[in-house]
Amino acid sequence: MSTNTNNETMQTVTRRVDAAVIGSGFAGLSAAYEAAKLGKRVSLIDKMPNPGGNSVMNAGQIAAVGSPNQEKAGIKDSVELMKKDMLDAGVSLNHPNLLEKMISQSWDTVNWTMTEFGIQYRDRLTQMGGHSVPRTLSTLNHSGRDIIDPMLSKIQYMRNNEENGQDEVVGIKVSHNGVTQDVMCDNGVIIASGGFSADIPFRKIQVPTFGEKVMSTNQPGATAEVIKESLKISALPVQLSHIQLGPWTSPDENGFGLAPYSLLITLCNHTDGIIIDHDTSKRFVNELGNRYERSMAILKMGHPVVCMTDSEGAKHSLEKDLIKLEPTLKAHNSIDEVAEEYGMDPIVLQETIDKYNASVARGKDEDFGKLLREDAAPLVKFPFYSVRLWPKVHHCMGGLHINSDAQVMHVDGYPIKGLFAAGEVTGGVHGGDRLGSCATLDCIAFGRIAGKNVATFNKKHEGDLHNVAT
């Protein structure tokens, strides 16, 4: 809902709540729930016709240290190890205070989704690229809706709610269908409006090469209006030019698509598969490297590449009919069929697969250093499955600067009174590049922090509204 400046046709309504939350994804719903649970009147606002934002397109995966799943599997993990993994991926540009707070609360965050909303996760942990050990839990359907829908249901059931001085936020101005609402907030405003991957003009300013020709995985509402309005009231931006490409997307479909969603574990995270350059018929990258490494390696090829697994590896994917993914997903009954489909040399391709299978047998990938699980299997059982890959803009690591209490910071270094933020709209947690399954953790952990803190921020605000367009 964007601000409408046509005062002649605009009706203005004023209402008062304790807190307003902008955005209804993982971060926004977590914040709204925690504030409402503490008895606050919360107005939950989203510009899109359906709630959930990018979170409904999420693969339902969340990283956590110290889960019972890790204990059962005998996986040794620690806050320090996950912190090291994220710092390595983020080239040490991550803000340590935010990183420490999020990771130390990772299992508590997952457990909260289970106890408060009844979210169920699979027993088998996923080995995501850039993570030293398997620590990613996946919902039963590998879908963000597994989390969003129960959250929405419980928040709607709770419905005891309604939807200054200088350097204070006293409320927001929301316009929709000819009506402007001045939502006055006694406690504060939480920004959880997400990133700007779909905002081509804004992201092109940050990274000029990410223009019109670079596709995005995000829903069309992933734009920068709220960030820009926050900058007008002297909110401090951080690392806006750090924009992530998803290396597991297919050029043969629009947006996020079905291929990375339905085959995220096997083909596109490559735990049980390999990536091949069709020009050479050889591997060229660590399939479990972080997203930046894989994206840059693919872009360096100058053309889409091919990832593949066999029928055994496909069993670790979603329990869905793989045929539904045609024509993005290809099935092959022989090496010759794979080679013919992509113009590869069948002899070299067979040598590449044999060499990879030998690495699996040894338990060590001497070519690219891919981490091979103890249960890794060779690629031998037909049919093989394949998908073409080409990176798309996926996540914005930069955004508004917050402190560890989720307060938005002023350009002069102090918290803006009454203004909080959580999720992808913020920056600093992931540094230069984000590891898979850490965004869900980021959104829910800091959403909860923002919701609790806005609820205890008890000052009554007076003054002019800051116009936050959504």
The burial class, CB within 10 Å (0-12 / 13-18 / 19+), for 211 is exposed
Residues labelled catalytic: 291
What token pair was written down for 397?
């690591």
Q: How many residues are given for the chain?
A: 470
The burial class, CB within 10 Å (0-12 / 13-18 / 19+), for 251 is middle
C-beta neighbour count of 119 within 10 angstroms: 21
Q: Name the residue among 22, 153, 64 with its Cα closest to residue 450.
A: 22
Q: Please provide the DSSP assignment of 107-124 as one string.
A: HHHHHHHHHHH---B-SS
Q: Name the residue among 98, 104, 106 with its Cα closest to residue 63.
A: 106
Cβ neighbours for 314, distance < 8 A, ≥ 6 positions apart: 263, 266, 272, 322, 385
C-beta neighbour count of 374 within 10 angstroms: 7
Q: Cis omega (within 30 of 0) on the bond before 49?
A: no
| C-alpha 157: how far from chain center | 27
Q: HSE of 356 in the Cβ direction (CA atoms, 13 Å)?
A: 32
CA pair distance 438, 189, nearest whole angstrom: 24
The DSSP call for residue 168 is: B
Q: Is the dihedral of CA 260, 266, 271, 276 positive or negative?
A: negative
Q: Please, where are the H alpha helices in 19-121?
A: 26-37, 68-73, 79-89, 96-104, 106-117
What token pair was written down for 174?
């929301």
